[in-house]
Amino acid sequence: MLSVLVAGLLAGTGWLGFQAWQNDGDADDWAQARQSARQMGVNLLTLDSKTGQQDLDRIVTGSTGDLKDELGSQSKVFLDQLNKTKAKSTVTDVEAAVVSIDGDSAEVMVSLNGTVTNEKVKNGVTRAYRYLMQMTKVDDRWLVSQLEMVP
């Protein structure tokens, strides 16, 4: 009888330990997906005509799949426009929240303010931006696979 009780306690303790370990892994995924989406939001709106290629490379590096291909294929047009306008944008008030997460995919909402300046608009105009990002876990990194601006 005592051995059955001990076996039951060991099994229960093992199950609780596994649940705690699994929940800790889930919390890590939530935090990593949120941070990756937040960083992508910052990257999308931190642009400068002087560092355009580096800025674009950061954006492409944080993406995957069709989005990565699309960004890469539009890079010349993007850089030409950035250089033509001599634009610079900065970011403030960045917030991100995980909407849902399941295994290797997550949906994250990112909200931030961006201020764009150029030669004609020296002080810039600050605008609020919100992105809904579909995240995909690739080799232990959360990357943006779809990007949508939302009102």
Specify which residues 115 forms β-bridges with.
90, 126
Q: In 3D, which of 37, 63, 72 has the Cα closest to residue 138?
A: 63
135 within 8 A of 36, measured Cβ to Cβ: yes
Longest Cα separation, the chain: 85
Residues 71-119: pLDDT tens digits?
Answer: 989 999 999 999 999 999 999 999 999 999 999 999 999 999 999 999 8
pLDDT digits (tens, 9 = 90+) for 6-58: 555 555 555 445 444 445 456 899 999 999 999 999 999 999 999 999 999 99
Predicted TM-score of the model (pTM): 0.80
- The string of DSSP codes covering 23-92 is HHHHHHHHHHHHHHHHHHHHHHH-EEGGGHHHHHHHHHHTB-HHHHHHHHHTHHHHHHHHHHHT-EEEEE
Is residue 138 within 8 Å of 117, Cβ to Cβ? no
